[in-house]
Structure formats: structure tokens, C-alpha cells
Amino acid sequence: MLTGREFHMLRDLFDQDVSISEIARRTGHDRKTIRKYIGSEIPPMMKERPKPSSKLDPYKDYIISRLKDHPLSASRLYREIKAKGFTGKYGIVKNFVREVRPKIEAPAVYRYETKPGVQSQVDWAECGHIEIDGQIRKLYCFTMVLGFSRMRYAEFVLQTDVSTLIQCHLNAFRYFGGYTQEILYDNMNQVVLQRNPVSSDTIWNPRFEDFFKHYRFIPRLCRPYRPQTKGKIENTVKFVKRDFFMGGSFSSFSDINSQLHQWLSRVNSTIQGTTHEIPFERLKLEGLRQIDSVLPYNIVREESRKITRDAFLSYLGNRYSVPYRFAGRTARLQIHDSTVSVFVGTEKVCSHEIVPGYGKISRNKDHFKGLLSEIIQQNTISRMKGLSTICFNDPEVEHRPLSTYDAFCREA
């Protein structure tokens, strides 16, 4: 079919008395085609061809509705519709998400690349609230990314104090199999108390300073108001929220971290968008400092709990027994890695392995030895006190001297 421009060119040549054969020679069109259009007053109209159907069509409304609720990643949406029966490829999902996702303009930034084993980046993310032990508490996510390999680590926590931050570092070091020469942070008070232009004058948080000196890595602080300095971790935080957390379904606090660990295994085994390589493969080239080459760093977190009348306390939705004589007292918990120790006053009364899941009970039968006999004894004493005792009083008898009875005998 001729375009509108070609149609008018044919008409102009014909109006100039150019023969049909000459027009055909000049334009390359067939003479039958030329005869058809020089006799028409209306230029040819392009007919819209119906768009071919796509395997994605049944899932487009679902994708759009999910993006209205959360800014999910294309890979997350691909997994969701694949579970619903989608058999197409990831590429068409990615292109469609790019079309329908709201556009947000962002200024250009310079990308910082690091050499193997040199730098990693750390940050916190707030993730709403969660109900734990009958209380509504804030939920946070610790994230760390290795600059060269783009290996990611994350875990959800309930507080952001220094002890929790250090424990998260240790968990990340074990996950990676080591740590980098330096770690980049935002200006968080768990790390730095006062930042000064000269790094040697910076006042570090003393507990965190003890930690980084123990492992001999260098803490770096990003420039104020320049989050692009730590763009890798910023992107990781967004990725964890969009690709894992938002719209997820979790049964307990431990279930969140269990699912997150599975997610980390998957994304670290998938080609990364910037390096176009698999993070687990690039990790082999990092040359990290081995955590086993340094003496273990012991970190203990503390919390307080009320011991119930039935001699249990609650931690992360699970119940742990305590010797019954401490029922009703307030206990201090020391949490170290996978164990929780219980102190009442200065006395350590018991310890438990931390139980995964929710609604579980860790019961030590020795904590209740003697309780039943003590209850029986107390009940017996109470029952005896409740019984009334009847006392009989003897009648009063008048006491008379014997001479009185002798007088009665003589009269008789």
C-alpha cells in the first residue's frame, strides 16, 4: 500500500502529463498500482492491524493492581504470575512493568566501583510494625552488600542498638565467609557520635570502636546529604523491600528471616543487573579477610521480661520455663547468638536454646521439681485452717467443805 506522500507524488507526475510507464520507471511501482491510485481522489488509508495476543494479557491487570499497592520489582511480579500459570518469558514482563510503572525523574549520579575485598556498605531500613509478645514493635532490616561481587546479606531485627548492629555484622561476616578492608556507613549514632573534618578527630561510639578495632577493618562515613556515595546499599535496601518484603505473607518473626534467607540464596545465585555476573561466582574473587583468623568477638544483648505465675517467660513469641520459685519476678535476659540466659537479680537461674518459629514452648522439667508436693502441702495447711473446732465446756460445780455434809448427816 502506498503512503500518503507517494500517492500525491503519483498524482503530480500524472498531472504533468507523464506517462504511466514513465511514472512506473521513476517510482518503481507497478503500472496497475499507478492506474488504481491516479484515478482516486482519496489517498490510501492505513488500516490498523489488530495487535497479536500475548501470553501476558491475562496477567496485565494483576500486575497493574500490584504496582498500585507496592513498587514491586519486575522479577518479583514475574515469579508471582508464573506461580499463577504464566508460561512466557521474563523479558515481556520486564518491558510491560517498565511501561506501566509510574515514572520518577532522578538526577544523574556517578557510579563508584570498588576493587575486590576493599569495601562493603551497611544500612538500616524501617519496615513498619510487628506484634511480638503481645506488644506492637517496630520492625527493622539490616542490610550489607559487598562492593565488588554485589553479594547481599539482610536480616530483620526489632531494635537498632549497638549490640544488635554488631551481632548483625557477625552474622553477615559468617554468611560471606569473611569481611572487607573497610565498611561504609551513614552517619548513624550507633557508629559515630561526632563526625569531624579530620577523620582522626572523629568520635566513634566506644562499643562499636572496640568492635572494628578487634577485627581491624576501617569504618568509612559517607558525605553528609550525599546518599549516592553509598548507592549500592541504597539499591539493596530498595530491592529487599520491593522484591521480598512488600506484599509478602509471614507467620512469625522467625518465619520472616527464614524466608529472607531462602530469598538471599536465590538472588545471590542470579545474574546481577550491573555486573551481569552471578554474585556467588564473583565472591570467589573478593579475597575477603577470613573471620576465623580473628578471635571470636562476644556480644551479648539484654532485655527484661516478667515471669508469669506458671513460671514461664516469653521471648519472640515463644515461651521458656524458669524455676518455679521465681514466678512473678522480673528477669533479665542475656541473648547471645542462639542462646538466652535468664538472670533474676544477680543470679543466673537457667538458660535455653532459642526456639525458631512462633507459639513454641521450651520446658525444662527440673524447673518444676517439688512444685506439686509444695502445692499439696500448701493446700493441706489452707484446708486445716479453714476447718472449725468445737470445744465443750464442763458445767460449773459448787465446791462445799465436808463439814457441811456432816451437819446434814446428824440432822438426819
Q: What is the DSSP string of 80-93?
A: HHHHTT--S-HHHH
Q: How far apart are CA 215 and CA 350, in angstroms?
A: 32
Q: 365 — alpha (psi -120 to 50), left (phi > 0) or beta?
A: alpha
Instruction: Tally the domains of the chain.
Output: 4
* Domain range for 337: 301-368
Q: How far apart are CA 200 and CA 180, in angstroms?
A: 21
Q: How far apart are CA 64 and CA 96, in angstroms?
A: 10
pLDDT for position 117: 94
Look at residues 242, 259, 293 and tell me which one is the last residue of a structural domain.
293
Q: Let me know if residue 382 belongs to a domain.
A: no
DSSP 8-state code for residue 293: G
Q: How far apart are CA 160 and CA 56, in angstroms?
A: 42
Q: How far apart are CA 14 and CA 17, in angstroms?
A: 5
- Within a 13 Å sphere around the CA of 378, how many CA atoms are in the beta-carbon half? 6
Query: Within this chain, do residues 139 and 165 fall inside the same structural domain, yes or no?
Result: yes
pTM across the whole model: 0.62
Mean pLDDT (whole number) for 73-82: 91
Query: Within this chain, do residues 229 and 164 fall inside the same structural domain, yes or no?
Result: yes
Question: What digits encode the pLDDT tens for the residues 21-61?
Answer: 887 787 777 777 777 777 666 666 655 566 677 889 999 99
pLDDT for position 59: 92
C-alpha cell, 253: 518473626
Question: What digits encode the pLDDT tens for the residues 232-282?
Answer: 888 888 899 988 998 888 888 889 999 999 999 999 999 998 889 999 999
How many residues are listed for the chain in this entry? 412
- pLDDT at 96 exceeding the cut of 70: yes
Find out whether 343 and 357 touch, Cβ atoms under 8 Å. Answer: no
Q: Let me know if residue 402 belongs to a domain.
A: no
Q: Let me know if residue 405 belongs to a domain.
A: no
Q: Let me know if residue 49 belongs to a domain.
A: no
Query: Within this chain, do residues 151 and 280 fall inside the same structural domain, yes or no?
Result: yes
CATH code, domain with 239: 3.30.420.10
